Amino acid sequence: MPKKKKETGMQDTNFEMQAAVSRKTVIMREAIKLFLSQGYCNTSLQQIAEKSGASTSLIIYYFGTKKAIAAAYLGNKMEALQALVTNFVNIRSNPELFCSSFVYLYQSVMSSPKLYKFYHESIDEGIYRDFFFTDENELNACDLILVKRQAQIPLKLHAFYSHYLMPSIELAAWLSAKGEIPGEEMFDIPFRALMGMLSVSKEETDNYCSQTKKLVAQIISDHPEIMEP
């Protein structure tokens, strides 16, 4: 009897966890719809609550702030794109191609007609800075490149290049576009900057960038849904 009660309790807990995930998904989905249709700045938590059928207090419980919802969406999008690149490139054996491909794919997706205005707002409202300028202990292609290339940089500074330098270059490209979509020729600049800092030859860098364009085109062709919100 106690065992049955324990199993029932575990089932109830699992159901509650699944229900919570489902509610969070609905909240995020409706929030993104509002961000895209009327703008991030013009959307309130109350509007998100009305559209999602959740209370404002529940939204605050799950996410805390409107900015956190937007950041969570960007995080989910990034994870999905990383998974697609992983299907084609091993991050450990070829961190250069992985890094170049992911950076190019991510910006290509954010440049889609339905997403680029939201992405600009995420930059203007500081979401980009909060999201990218963080030092997280995770497997990072940039870190692997620095180690592989035996960069004469103290390990404690690796995060500066992976979490600050490359995102800053991407940020500058988007800011220079002044609300429009940056030209595709800008998408590989962050990677080229890293390769330049490591004194990698132009020929080798061009080769990675050429492979990247073909790979990203294939990924988008095989998975056109990634260009959608």
Taking residues 190-212, what's their average pLDDT?
96
Q: Compute and round to an integer the Cα radius of gyration of the chain.
A: 20
Average pLDDT, the chain: 90
Higher pLDDT, 2 or 37: 37
Same domain, 57 and 86: no
Amino acid at 124: D
Separation CA 229–CA 161 (nearest Å): 29
Interval 84-138: pLDDT, tens: 999 999 999 999 999 999 999 999 999 999 999 999 999 999 998 887 776 555 6
- Can you give the residue range of the structural domain that contains 222? 74-227
CB 114 within 8 A of CB 229: yes
Higher pLDDT, 3 or 163: 163
CB 198 within 8 A of CB 149: yes
Output the pTM of the full model: 0.88
Separation CA 105–CA 134 (nearest Å): 21
Same domain, 49 and 90: no
| Assigned domain for 115 exists | yes
Angle of helix 45-52 versus helix 2-38 axis, rounded to 10: 120
Taking residues 17-41, what's their average pLDDT?
89
Domain boundary (46, 64, 82) is at 64
Same domain, 87 and 187: yes
| Assigned domain for 145 exists | yes
